[in-house]
């Protein structure tokens, strides 16, 4: 059984690929990517809140 805080094998692979891609980014690109990711996470949370209503 997969728990919420565990990653599937596919997710683990995706994370490893992303990790390699991040190594190639400049500091500025990494900074912007982190901000964009956090924004996407907040939008996703907003959707979840809307669905619960």
Per-residue pLDDT reduced to its tens digit, 1-53: 667 789 999 999 999 999 999 999 999 999 999 999 999 999 999 999 998 87
What does the pLDDT read at residue 40? 97
20: in domain: yes
19: in domain: yes
What does the pLDDT read at residue 24? 95
Q: What angle do CA 8, 32, 46 make, to 5 degrees?
A: 60
Put simply, whether the predicted model's pTM sits higher than 0.85 gets the answer no
What does the pLDDT read at residue 5? 83
- Report how many domains make up the chain: 1
Exposure string over 12-45, b if 16+ CB within 10 A, otherwise e: eeeeeeeeeeeeeeeeeeeeeeeeeeeeeeeeee
Residue 30 CB contacts under 8 Å (≥ 6 apart), including other chains = 22
Domain that holds residue 16: 9-52
């Amino acid at each position: 059984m997969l728990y919420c805080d565990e990653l599937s094998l596919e997710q683990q692979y995706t994370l490893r690929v992303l990790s390699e891609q991040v190594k190639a980014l400049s500091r500025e690109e990494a900074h912007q990517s982190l901000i964009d990711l956090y924004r996407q996470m907040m939008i996703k949370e907003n959707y979840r809140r809307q669905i619960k209503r």
